[in-house]
Amino acid sequence: MSLDLETLKNELNPEQYRAVTTTDGAILIIAGAGSGKTRVITFRIAHMLDIGIPQSQILALTFTNKAAKEMSDRIKDLTQRKLQNLTVSTFHAFGVRILRQDIEKLGWRENFSIYDETDRTALIKECGRELNFSPDAMDIYKISQLFSNIKTGRKNWETANDMYRQLYECYQEGLKLYNAVDFDDLIVLPIKLFREHPEVLARYRERYKYIMVDEFQDTSHQQYELMHLLADKNVAVVGDDDQSIYSWRGADYQNIVNFEHDFSVTEIRLEQNYRSSNTILEAANGVISHNTNRKDKKLWSGNGDGKPIEIFMPENETAEADFIAESIQGIAMEEHRKYDEFGVLIRANTQSRFIEEAFLENNIPYTMSGGTSFFERKEIKDVISYLRVIANHDDDINLLRIINTPRRGIGRAAIQAINDEAEALQSTLWTAIQSLIKAESSPASEALKEDLEAFAEIIEGHRQKLLSGRGLSKKVRELIEEIDYKAYLVSEYSKSEKAVQFKMKNIEYLLNSMEMWENDPDNANPSLFNYLNRITLMSRDDGDDENDKGKVSLMTIHASKGLEFPVVFIAGAEEGLIPHQRSVDENGGDVEEERRLFYVAITRARDKLLISSCMKRRKMQAVMECTPSRFLDEIPANLVEYHEPQKELSAEKTRDILADMLKQFAKPQAPTA
Q: Which residues are catalytic?
A: 37-38, 214-215, 243, 604
Distance CA 69, CA 279 (A): 33
Distance CA 468, CA 461 (A): 12
Q: How far is CA 146 from the centre of its chain?
A: 20
Residue 29: helix, strand or coil by DSSP? strand
For residue 213, give the H/E element and its range: strand 210-213
Question: 98: closest CA among 234, 255, 230, 236?
Answer: 230
Residue-by-residue DSSP string for 369-438: ESS--GGGSHHHHHHHHHHHHHH-TT-HHHHHHHTTSS--S--HHHHHHHHHHHHHHT--HHHHHHHHHH
The amino acid at 324: I
Distance CA 457, CA 463 (A): 9
Q: With contact defined as beta carbons under 8 Å apart, do 352 and 553 qualify? A: no
Q: Which residues contact 672 (CB under 8 A, 6 or more apart)?
A: none
Distance CA 555, CA 563 (A): 11
Alpha-carbon torsion, ordered 21, 27, 30, 36, to 10 deg: 30
For residue 21, give the H/E element and its range: helix 14-21
Cα distances (Å, whole numbers) of residue 49 to 57, 92, 338: 10, 25, 39
Beta bridge partners of 236: 27, 212
Determine how many CB atoms are found less than 10 A away from the CB of residue 517.
Answer: 16
Greatest Cα pair distance, the chain, in angstroms, is: 109
Distance CA 157, CA 324 (A): 48
